[in-house]
Amino acid sequence: MTALRELQLRFQDYLIGESEYIEADIVSTENALAEHRLGAYYNAYRIRLIDCLAVDYSALEQYLGREAFEYLALDYLHHYPSQHPSVRWFGRHLPEYLRDLYQGEEREFLQELASYEWAQTLVFDAAGSESLLQLQDMAQVAPEDWPLMTFNFKPAMRWLDLHWNVPPIDNAIDNGAAAPAKQRSEFPQRWLLWRRDLKTHWRSLEVHEAWALEQAADGASFAAICEGLLEWIDAEQVALVAAGFVKQWVGDQLVISLGKD
């Protein structure tokens, strides 16, 4: 290993708080001790990571307040040091960290808020789709072919099951509006997130649409989806309801193409 590489590794160890051996390599002067010179980089490194975390979790930062968020970020850095060359991935463990840090309902709310914000970043950064299925494309499918149709969805789509009304709270905070009161439901609500026209969209799903979308994303055919929807929908209406879901998904620009089972 070259001397330069060894010096770089010692500097890296110092920045992440694993050793102070690098101090021996830094020249002190009357105006600046080695520890003071290094301290500027040590603090700048942490400030940069705190700011990056605040970008990914802006609603969480505003909910907690800047000072509390900074303390949280520094402790998070201690437990989950940055391991990726890009700071983009520094905050990926924050929901897990919050689960271990807090107790009771506050832990659940903060973890769900962080999970939702992280899902938004993943949706926004997901790969784009060169082409999307259009409503007129659906009209080209012969009626007898519909039972075997399957659906290919774009990568920029995710869903979360949340007990708390996190999405409207997050939306209000990010837009500087008054946030609705926190509410917890006994059963989790599924929220769909997707990117469209360089913006992240979200909406809640009824139980039967949530089930249908999950089945469709897993490759189920239109006929299989209709069969499963019989748990909620009368047989006379089930095909119409399933077709309505597909129309909604296509209109939301979620579907890339059709396949065949």
DSSP state letters, 50-107: HHHHHHHTHHHHHHH-HHHHHHHHHHHHHHS---SSSGGGGGGGHHHHHHHH--HHHH
pTM of this structure? 0.85
Which tokens go with 253?
A: 């620009």
Per-residue pLDDT reduced to its tens digit, 170-211 = 999 989 999 999 999 999 999 999 999 889 999 999 999 999
pLDDT at 197: 87
- The answer to whether the CB of 238 falls within 8 A of the CB of 230 is yes
Residue bearing the bigger pLDDT, 86 or 115 = 115
Is residue 141 scored above 80 in pLDDT? yes
Domains along the chain?
1-101 (no CATH), 130-261 (3.90.930.50)
What's the pLDDT tens digit per position in 28-68? 565 554 565 555 555 677 888 899 999 999 999 999 999 99
Confidence (pLDDT) at 8:
55
63 contact partners, CB below 8 Å, separation of at least 6:
110, 113, 173
Tell me which of 60-69, 86-95, 96-105 is least confident. 96-105
**Cβ–Cβ < 8 Å for 46, 38:** no
What the block records as the tokens of 73 is 């970020």
Q: How confident is the model at residue 133 (pLDDT cuts 50, 70, 90)?
A: very high
At 87 the pLDDT is 84
